[in-house]
Amino acid sequence: MKTAKGLLGAAVIAASIASLPANALEMGATDKAIKLAINEWTGQHLSTRVAGAILERAGYAVEYVTAGYGPQFIALGEGDLHATLEIWTSNAPGQFNEAEAAGKVVDIGGLGLDAREGVLYPIHMKEICPGLPDWGALNACADKFASVETLPNGRLLDYPADWGSPGKDRFEAMGMNFTAVPAGSEGALITELEASIAKKSPLVMTFWQPHWALAEYETEWVALPAGTEECYNDPSWGVNKSATGDCDFSPTRIFKVTWAGFNDTWPAAGDILANYTLEAGAQQQMMAAVDGRGEDINAVVAAHIDANAAAVDALISAAKSR
Amino acid sequence: MSGATTSLDTSLSLDTARRAALALLVLLGIAAIIMPERLPALVASPLAGSDAIAAAINGGIDWFVAVFKPALRAVAAGLDQAVRGLQKILHATPWLFIVIAVTWLAWRLKGIGLAALCGTAVLYMALSGYWLKSMNTLSMVGVAVPLALAVGFGLGVLGAKSRRANAVIQPTLDLMQTIPTFAYLAPLVVLFGFGPVPGVLASMIYAAPPMTRNVLLGLQSVPQELREVSSMSGTTPWQRFCHIELPCAKQQILVGINQLVLASLSMVIIAAVIGGFDDIGREVLVATNKGSARFGQALAAGIVIVLLAVVIDRLTRAAATRREAVGRKTGRRAIPVLWQLAGLAIVLAASIALKTYADIIAVASAIFFRLGEVAVNGWLQDFIATHGITLDAIKKTALMYLLLPLRIGLTKAVLPITWGFTFTPAMQTVYLLTVLAGTAWLAWRGRTTAASLLLSVGLISYCGFSYMPWWVMFAGVCWLAWRHAGWRFALVACAMMLAITLTGHWQGALYSVYLCSAAILVCLLIGCPLGILAAKSDIVSGILRPMNDTLQSIPLYIFLIPAVALFQVNEFSALVAIVLYAIVPLIRYTEHGLRHVPPTLVEAARANGCSPLQRLLMIELPVARPAILLGLNQTVLFALAMLIIAVLVGARGLAEQVNIGLRDADTGLGMTAGLSMAFIAIIADRVLRGYANSLGTTEIKD
């Protein structure tokens, strides 16, 4: 690999000296495909395929490899996979922390995706609990959300247990009359949302955006006290004088991770990925096209790249001329 | 029925001191269950679980990785090449050729009926738009099967030749089949790297045991006379093995191959959670993640897997039975091999020539399949909207009257807001006295089994699995193990429960046992009547068989979407998913048992003027009881296996820990929880099989 890189690097430098400033980043091993991880949800597929399309435009070979959100870090740590582009701090798996501590993977910066987590309800809940989105009103009609297992408390559908339990933590700190039930999977969360809309039955759930379901269904967030740093550090802040975190979710960061050897192998590509961003609005629109209208994902990504050709080319040439 | 029980009971004659000790133990247990507040010493566990063992396992894995990784990675690279090579070949072969070749093969093996079935199935795969993904799955299976064959066959021969080896092999097989795959997927990825290889290896681990068991059974049932004849005529052991033993065991070995291939396919699908290969299992998994509005996609892809399983099953089974017929005269004239090859070559050439057109047809027809999927989605949404109230009522009833009492006990589940009244101390006393009186009466009549069943069900419903005093559980399980599987196994069972406690999984285990018990109860209530109907009516049997086939081979994830869409995330959805999967063996074995009641018995009953109902209750069911118990045994194992998937819709307990272990690559957590599940399965298996055997054995062949 080293020798291939050296040879190619030399060739690329020779070719590019004429057209680029002297300190241009090398392209690196353009014959070796950059393997990008494809996880389980459509938003991530889009973040990854847009990045892949940009890399291809820059002259790289890209391969998409399906990978579980947790297990992918084993592969990234060893260079079997090269980058994964949508990791959420709120549920970064333990494997990531281990691999990063061992210096096997690198956090190369945020994706620029404006994420938010919170407690969500389908719009028809406003008829069942008229005070919404106020959290006090929600607490007052907790009994309307009750199920057999949570009686007399209301039922909060929380993230699957292996993602952590942020909804439960918030509601417990605030002393809400709700019992959290872990969902088990993303599919279960969405299926419940859809069933609730179909049946007009009560539902509050921990959820996140950007997500295609929010583009497809009418929903609202419960208005909790602002999730400031003060709230998370100072117990006396907020409704519960003896607990921190008695407020909305702390902002989530979404970031990109590469294999530690990425920049040495593909210097310019490393720069492109480090500076690559995707807006939540754009991602959500593409998700609605792919999941809502059933359009082909490659066509949707190509259209996005065409519409943003100027910005994409600027990103590429900036990397090559850095 | 009573005859069998009493003969068993008299064989268990206890001396008076033992009887008294047992009675005292039972009384103490009852006291601990009835008055936990008054007798805290009887309820609290002296054993605190810790994660020290899990940490030690993690340390061991780290060390193992550091030492053996280079060697294992070399193995993995070879396997990876094999899978990808096969994948290239399958992708390059025109689908038209594969359709024709499979149809032809089916026709040669069995006849026109099988040819039509297999041809249609493969055609569906090609036209539904999931062809390449199916071929990816097939290339993983294609590598896993020879591996599992080699391992399974080798272990089987070893076990048949050496008693000592067999003593190690048997429990190993149990563990290979009962430790949930999710528990060892993460370490497999660490050891063998990312890609299709961990899935292939997981599949090998899971698929080898049925092969080994069948090889063992086949070799052990070679008639002793044959061996003697061969040694008299001076054969070497090798000659004897090749020319006498293997041919004799062939039939059984072919059964093993059939089971192996199916197990391998099902495990390749499960292993899709780690990703690394764009196979059809992954497609189903991703579609499941998108909720009920995408149920159609998950179903269409799931059907591909069912068809794949059906084709593989029928073809291997036909191959197995055909070999048997070789000795006899077959009516069909043999076609010379050269002609066959020439015919195949012509078909191949033709399908290569027509590839472009065939591919256009496949793309066009895939559009219709997508429309069908949308229609299914719409139908599911409509169904939920129109029947929401009924569905909620079903769920509430099951939760209030079945699941909650089993989990937390009637004392905590019966409240004015649930059952509409308070479970007053007076009522509790009446309830307990009824249970105890019933038990005493049954015991006095000598029906120990019925008595202990009533006592345990009565007490468990009273306090719930979650509040069962730990030692009562220990004592109860050990007693069952001793009674039905011997004192050696009772010791093993005790050690297993101790291990569960020491690794801190006791509460999780109680939860898993609770959920499985509830599911098994429902399976019994629905599955046995269905089995009886199927035995009595060929029409019902004909309707149930394809349904059973589908339920068994469809990827387990598929059950989750309708379960959640209809009943939301809770224990009832988990229960529904488990029941759907685990009920099949009970239906099958009940039907099988009833259909194989000796006709002379039925005749005798008829001659004596029994009504059909009397005949069923007094003659047929008692005779079929061992078969039904073996079905129940399978149901228990299936239910435990399904727990892992049921976590995704709201099940907790051990299976949840296994899932967390997989996600966080915490092998120690995953393995300790996974082993705990395996222990529960092994104990249940031995006890039920022991009980079935004590009732008299009937040969069960599927």
Chain B hits for A157, CB-CB cut-off 8 Å, are 569
The whole-angstrom separation of Cα A212 and Cα A291 is 7
Phi, psi (degrees; rounded to nearest 5) at B318: -65, -40
Say yes or no: A200 and A99 in one domain. Answer: no
Look at residue B13 and tell me whether its pLDDT is greater than 70.
Answer: no
Cβ A46 vs Cβ A301: under 8 Å: yes
Q: Closest-CA residue in chain A for B400?
A: A148
Which residue type is seen at B189?
V
Report yes or no: B660 at the A interface, CB cutoff 8 Å. yes
pLDDT interval class at B268 (50, 70, 90):
confident
What three-state secondary structure class fits A61?
A: coil
pLDDT surpassing 50 at residue B1: no
Q: Which residues of B touch A294 (CB under 8 A)?
A: 370, 374
Amino acid B38: pLDDT: 65
Residues A88 and A30 in one domain: yes
Would you say how long chain B is, in residues?
A: 702
Q: Which residues contact B444 (CB under 8 A, 6 or more apart)?
A: none
Average pLDDT (B637-648) is 88
Say yes or no: A263 and A291 in one domain. Answer: yes
Is 50 exceeded by the pLDDT of residue A9? Answer: no
pLDDT score, position B413: 85
The residues in B 415-454 lying below 8 A from A, measured between CB atoms, are 415, 417-418
Distance from CA of A230 to the nearest CA of B (A): 30
Percentage of the residues of chain A whose pLDDT score is greater than 70 = 93
Asked whether A115 and A254 are in contact (CB, 8 A), the reply is yes
Percent of chain B surpassing pLDDT 90: 30
Amino acid A14: pLDDT: 41
Out of A39, A184, A199, the one facing B650 most closely (by C-beta) is A184
The reply to whether A282 and A178 lie within a common domain is: no
For residue A293, what pLDDT is reported? Answer: 75
Question: What's the CATH architecture for B53-324+335-383?
Answer: Orthogonal Bundle (1.10)
pLDDT band at A13 (very low <50, low <70, confident <90, very high): very low
Q: How far apart are CA B282 and CA A40, in angstroms?
A: 9
- Looking at this predicted complex, what is its ipTM? 0.77
Cα distances from A215 to residues A126, A189, A283, in angstroms, run 19, 16, 10
CA dist A321 and A311 (Å) reads 15
Cross-chain CB nearest to B273 (options A68, A216, A294): A68
> A122 and A106, same structural domain?
no
The predicted pLDDT at position B323 comes to 56
Q: Is residue A15's pLDDT more than 60?
A: no
Using alpha carbons, list the distances in angstroms from residue B370 to A189, A295, B295, B692: 24, 11, 12, 49
Establish if B191 touches chain A: CB-CB under 8 angstroms: no
Cβ count near A316 (within 10 Å): 20
- CB hemisphere CA count around B656 (13 angstroms): 24
Q: For residue A278, what is the domain's CATH number?
A: 3.40.190.10
Of residues A48 and B339, more confidence is placed in: A48
pLDDT, position B336: 74
What average pLDDT does this structure show over B86-92? 93
Element (H, E) at B695: none
Mean of pLDDT values over B216-241? 85
Extents of the domains making up chain B: 53-324+335-383, 487-702
Alpha-carbon distances of A239 from A115, A222, B114, B352, rounded to whole Å: 26, 16, 70, 73
Please give the structure tokens belonging to residue B526. Answer: 């629905």
Does residue A64 sit within a domain?
A: yes
Extract the tokens encoding B111.
């006849």
Instruction: State residue A208 phi and psi, 5-degree precision.
Output: -145, 160
Interchain contact, B663 vs A93, CB within 8 Å = yes
- Contact by Cβ (8 Å): A214, A284: yes
Look at residue A26 and tell me whether its pLDDT is greater than 60: yes
* Closest among A121, A46, A51, A49 to A285, alpha carbons compared: A46
Give pLDDT, residue B430. 92
The helix/strand/coil state of B525 is helix
Write down the pLDDT at residue B10: 46
Cα–Cα nearest to B632, from B624, B537, B73: B624
pLDDT averaged over chain B? 85
Residue A204 makes CB contacts below 8 A (sequence gap 6+) with A119, A120, A121, A125, A138, A145, A154, A155, A156, A157, A178, A222
Query: Cβ of B65 under 8 Å from any chain A Cβ?
Result: no
- Enclosing domain of residue A308: 2-112+254-320
Looking at residue B526, its pLDDT comes to 95
Q: Provide, as residue numbers in chain A, all residues whose Cβ is less than 8 Å from the Cβ of B578.
A: none
Token digits for A263?
């920049």
> Per-residue pLDDT for B331 more than 70?
no
Please write the tens of the pLDDT for every residue from A121-136: 999 999 999 988 999 9
A1 pLDDT higher than 80: no
pLDDT for A106 equals: 94
Q: How far apart are CA B96 and CA B104, in angstroms?
A: 12
Residue A2 has what pLDDT?
40
Q: Is residue A242 part of a domain?
A: no
Cα–Cα distance, B155 to A102 (Å, whole number): 40
Q: Which residue of A has its CA nearest to B403?
A: A149
CB B477 within 8 A of CB B452: no
Q: How confident is the model at residue B156 (pLDDT cuts 50, 70, 90)?
A: very high
Residues whose CB falls within 8 Å of the CB of residue B96, separated by 6 or more in sequence, listed in order: B126, B351, B354, B355, B358
Residues of chain A contacting residue B404, judged by C-beta atoms under 8 Å apart: 148-149
Q: Specify the number of domains making up chain A.
A: 2
User: Is B194's CB within 8 Å of A149's CB?
Assistant: no
| A·B CB contacts under 8 A | 176
Structure tokens at A66: 């399906």
Taking only the tens place, the pLDDT of each residue in B369-381 is 888 888 888 888 8
Q: Of residues B557 and B518, which shows the higher confidence score?
A: B518
Torsional sign, CA A96, A101, A105, A109: positive
Minimal CA separation from A16 to chain B, in Å: 35
- Angle at which helix B163-178 crosses helix B667-694, to 10 degrees, equals 110
Q: How many whole angstroms separate alpha carbon B296 and alpha carbon B331?
A: 45
Residue B11 has pLDDT above 70, yes or no: no
Asked if pLDDT for residue B534 goes beyond 50, the answer is yes
- Chain B window 630-649: which residues touch A at a Cβ cutoff of 8 Å? 647-649
β partners of residue A180: A156
* Residue ranges in chain A assigned as alpha helix (H): 2-17, 42-57, 72-77, 94-101, 125-128, 135-140, 166-173, 186-199, 212-216, 229-233, 262-265, 267-275, 280-287, 297-307, 309-320
Q: What region, left, alpha or beta, does residue A249 occupy, with left being phi > 0 and alpha being psi -120 to 50 degrees?
A: beta
Same domain, yes or no: A160 and A204: yes
Instruction: Quote the pLDDT of residue B5.
Output: 44
B337 pLDDT exceeds 90? no
Q: Work out the burial of residue B530: count CB atoms within 10 Å of its CB; fewer than 13 is exposed, 13-18 middle, 19 or more buried.
A: buried
Please indicate, yes or no, if residue A260 is contained in any of the structural domains.
Answer: yes
CATH number for the domain including A161?
3.40.190.100
In a domain, A55, yes or no: yes
Query: What angle, 0 to 180 degrees and rounded to 10, lies between the N-to-C axes of helices B131-161 and B295-326?
Result: 50
Asked whether the predicted pLDDT for residue B365 surpasses 90, the reply is no
Say which of A67, A148, A191 has its CB closest to residue B400.
A148
Averaged pLDDT score across all residues of chain A: 85
Residue B6 dihedral angles phi and psi, to the nearest 5°: -65, -40
Q: What is the pLDDT of residues A216-235, one digit of tens each?
A: 889 999 999 988 888 888 88
Would you tell me the crossing angle of helices B538-553 and B506-536 to the nearest 10 degrees?
A: 150
Nearest CA in chain B to A75: B194
Longest dimension (CA), chain B: 86
- Do A123 and A95 sit in the same domain of this protein? no
Mean pLDDT of B316-339: 65
Q: How would you class B212 by CB atoms within 10 Å of its CB: exposed for 0-12, middle for 13-18, buried for 19 or more?
A: buried
Q: What is the mean pLDDT of residues A79-97?
A: 86
Please check whether residue A54 lies inside any domain of the structure: yes
Q: How confident is the model at residue B85 (pLDDT cuts 50, 70, 90)?
A: very high
Residues of A with CB below 8 A from B389's CB? 199
- B 548-587 residues with CB below 8 A of A? 560-561, 564-566, 568-571
Task: Kindly determine whether residue A162 and residue B277, on different chains, have CB atoms separated by under 8 Å.
Answer: no
Chain B residue closest in CA terms to A37: B276
Contact between B290 and A201 using a beta-carbon 8 Å cutoff: no
Q: Would you state the pLDDT for residue B95?
A: 92
Q: What is the pLDDT of residue A36?
A: 95
Q: Is B666 helix (H, G, I), strand (E, B) or coil?
A: coil
**Mean pLDDT of all residues in A88-98:** 81
For residues A145 and A172, state if they share a domain. Answer: yes
Whether residue A245 is contained in a domain is answered as no
In one-letter notation, the amino acid at residue B235 is T
CA B649 – CA B570 distance, rounded (Å): 7
The residues pairing with A64 across neighbouring beta strands, listed in sequence order, are A36
Q: Which of A75, A199, A291 sits opposite B384 (nearest CB)?
A: A199
Inter-chain touch B189–A213, beta carbons under 8 Å: no
Architecture of domain B487-702: Orthogonal Bundle (1.10)
Residues A71 and A13 in one domain: yes
Which tens digits make up the pLDDT trace of B99-130?
A: 999 999 999 888 899 999 999 999 999 998 89
pLDDT for the residue numbered A8: 42
Can you give the pLDDT at residue B324?
52
Give a yes or no: residue A199 inside a domain. yes
Q: Write out the two tokens for A81.
A: 């996979």
Region of residue B276 (left: phi > 0; alpha: psi -120 to 50; beta: else): left
Q: Which residues of A touch B194 (CB under 8 A)?
A: 65, 67, 71-72, 74-75, 78, 80-81
pLDDT digits (tens, 9 = 90+) for A266-312: 999 999 999 999 988 899 889 888 877 778 899 999 999 999 999 99
- Give the count of beta carbons closer than 10 Å to the beta carbon of residue B502: 16
Confidence (pLDDT) at B45 = 64
Share of chain A above pLDDT 90, in %: 43
Measured in angstroms, the CA of B576 and the nearest CA of chain A are apart by 14
Strand partners, A205: A120, A157
AA letter at B184 = Y
**A103 and A153 belong to one structural domain:** no
Q: Long-range contacts: A1-8, Cβ < 8 Å, 24+?
A: A1/A29, A1/A32, A1/A265, A4/A29, A4/A31, A4/A32, A5/A29, A5/A264, A5/A265
Residue that is last in its domain, among A233, A266, A293? A233
The reported pLDDT for the residue numbered B554 is 73
Nearest-CA distance B176 → chain A (Å): 22
For A55-65, the pLDDT digits (tens) are 999 999 999 98
Cα of A44 to nearest chain B Cα, Å = 12
* B182 pLDDT above the threshold of 50: yes
pLDDT of res. B179: 92
Most confident range (mean pLDDT) of A238-242, B363-367, B576-580 is B576-580
Say what the pLDDT of residue B47 is.
Answer: 65
The reply to whether the predicted model has a pTM over 0.80 is: yes
Q: Which residues of chain A make contact with B576, given a CB cutoff of 8 A?
A: none
A60 & A85 share domain: yes
Closest CA to A193 of A184, A185, A202: A202
Please answer yes or no on whether B189 and A75 come within 8 Å at the CB atom. Answer: yes
A50 found inside a domain: yes
